[in-house]
Amino acid sequence: MMLRRLLLAAFATVVTCGTVSPALAEYPDRPIKLIVPYAPGGSADIVARMVSDEWAKALGRAIVIENRGGAGGNVGVDAVSKASPDGYTIGLQTVSLAINPSLFPNMPYDTLKDLAPISMVASSQHVLVVNNDVPAKDVKELIALAKKEPGKLTYASAGPGSTFHMAAELFKAVAGVDIVHIPYRGGGPALIDVMSGQVQLCFPVLAAAQGQIQGGKIRALGVTGTKRSALMPDVPTIAEAGLPNYSFDTWFIVFAPARTPQPIIDKLNATLVDVLKSKAVADRMSREGFESTPSTPAQARQRLETEIPQWNKLVKDRGITMQ
């Protein structure tokens, strides 16, 4: 009996001589916590809930979503980085995972060292909208107007460091224009003040602004991605509308703590990719204004490694702060 217990204990190690242990073979054997570092109802929360049910079925265990907001998503991501690397606490974050290292001087975690990417999940376009009093009818006219009267036009954001903010600052950098930032506490209030004429323009998520655009309350000049959106195929991309070097999208990534065993990462990736490739999930995402973007862990890491220095340059060049 003692010998049997010793043998079982030996087999419970994570990996022995390249062979997956019985403990890993049985993973997961209890519910998995998926931390979303924002409040319920936001885009990250919506994406998490669109995939979690089917992913749970594929894994054979429940996935429990925990919303843990704060500090632009850093509080929730930090909780994942410091969790036990056993595959039972994972996270979902937006493009802010690549942006925040440049915005926050004292990050509680190192994105590339403390996290293990599992897969890209989805992406969502933003849209450049203006209130109906702005005389510019397209992107070229807006740029000309901004250059004619530097500092007169204003844009609303969902707050410093938000994707609304960064999409606009990237636009300003590429177009070479001076448009004043007016931060709000969330995308809803920002969009309301654009519609009322208090602010001239905004870069909301396309799905959030679609109703107001179709209702004629604001005008869409261009979507921010590299191709037109199926939600509004008549709206050109900003690139084709007059700013060829501009593109921006909000992407979503799932990750685990660093040092999570590779067999666990591989299982989470394989099951998630299958879910993201399924017609039911892909179609649902499309209806909500998202595009399913499954990837390998290596491709997800490469996205971070590529974009972190790009955003760092933009933040430094534009003098962007969280104030």
| DSSP one-letter string for 38-96 | S-TTSHHHHHHHHHHHHHHHHHTS-EEEEE---GGGHHHHHHHHTS-SSSSEEEEEETH
Determine if the pTM surpasses 0.75. Answer: yes
Rounded to an integer, what distance in angstroms lies between the CA atom of residue 13 and that of residue 31?
21
Strand-strand pairing, 63-67 and 32-36:
parallel
Q: Which of 109, 83, 90, 111 is nearest to 99 (CA)?
A: 111
The SS3 call for residue 32 is strand
Rounded to an integer, what distance in angstroms lies between the CA atom of residue 34 and that of residue 36?
6
pLDDT for position 23: 60
Q: Which of 291, 123, 93, 125 is nearest to 207 (CA)?
A: 125
Taking a C-beta distance cutoff of 8 angstroms, is the pair 191, 209 a contact? yes
Q: Which residues pair with 20 in a beta bridge?
A: 15
pLDDT for position 322: 83
pLDDT for position 280: 95
Rounded to an integer, what distance in angstroms lies between the CA atom of residue 93 and that of residue 253?
6
Q: Which of 204, 167, 201 is nearest to 314 (CA)?
A: 167
pLDDT for position 9: 38
| 270 contacts: CB under 8 Å, gap ≥ 6 | none
Give per-residue pLDDT as tens, 47-102.
999 999 999 999 999 999 999 999 999 999 999 999 999 999 999 999 999 999 99
Q: Tell me the one-letter amino acid at 94.
A: T
pLDDT for position 37: 96
The SS3 call for residue 143 is helix
* Residue given tokens 């060292």 in the structure block: 113
Per-10-residue mean pLDDT of the chain, 323 residues long, equals 36 44 80 96 94 98 96 96 98 97 95 98 97 96 97 95 96 97 93 96 93 96 95 96 95 98 98 97 94 98 98 95 79
Rounded to an integer, what distance in angstroms lies between the CA atom of residue 60 and that of residue 221?
45
pLDDT for position 189: 93
- C-alpha radius of gyration, the chain, whole number: 22
- Cis omega before residue 28 (within 30°)? yes
DSSP one-letter code for 37: S
